[in-house]
């Protein structure tokens, strides 16, 4: 399979999934269970992305380095209701400082 065939197939699958979303009847989407599930999906996807980016290493290895401390600092800042920009700056500064000190 060439690269272009893979790209076209992926585009067709993405289009079909988007089209399927429009074809789902409104009655199925208005069910309380469906609303709860669809409300939870973005949170689960974001949590999975954060976990993968925090602990993931080359070839799927588990890595504990400055990223973990940076996420920890960001979580504490969020719990203290810091503005989002400050949360990002604190996390980045923590990772940068620990990497400058030779950890990670």
pLDDT for residue 26: 87
**Sign of the alpha-carbon torsion through 67, 71, 76, 81:** positive
Task: Indicate the number of domains in the chain.
Answer: 1
17 belongs to a structural domain: yes
22 belongs to a structural domain: yes
pLDDT for residue 1: 67
9 belongs to a structural domain: yes
13 belongs to a structural domain: yes
User: What tens digit of pLDDT does each residue of 37-47 get?
Assistant: 989 999 999 99
Angle at which helices 84-100 and 66-79 pack, to 10 degrees? 150
Whether residue 22 has pLDDT greater than 70: yes
58 belongs to a structural domain: no
User: What tens digit of pLDDT does each residue of 51-102 get?
Assistant: 999 999 898 899 999 999 999 999 999 999 999 999 999 999 999 999 999 9
- d(CA 38, CA 20) in angstroms, rounded, equals 15
7 belongs to a structural domain: yes
Domain that includes residue 4, residue range: 1-30
78 belongs to a structural domain: no
């Amino acid at each position: 399979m060439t690269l272009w065939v893979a790209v076209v197939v992926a585009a067709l699958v993405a289009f079909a999934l988007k089209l399927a979303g429009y074809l789902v009847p409104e009655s199925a989407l208005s069910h309380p269970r469906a609303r709860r599930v669809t409300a939870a999906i973005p949170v689960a996807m974001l949590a999975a992305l954060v976990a993968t980016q925090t602990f993931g290493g080359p070839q799927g290895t588990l890595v504990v380095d400055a990223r973990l401390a940076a996420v920890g600092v960001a979580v504490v800042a969020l719990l203290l209701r810091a503005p989002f920009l400050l949360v990002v700056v604190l996390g980045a500064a923590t990772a940068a400082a620990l990497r400058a000190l030779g950890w990670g």
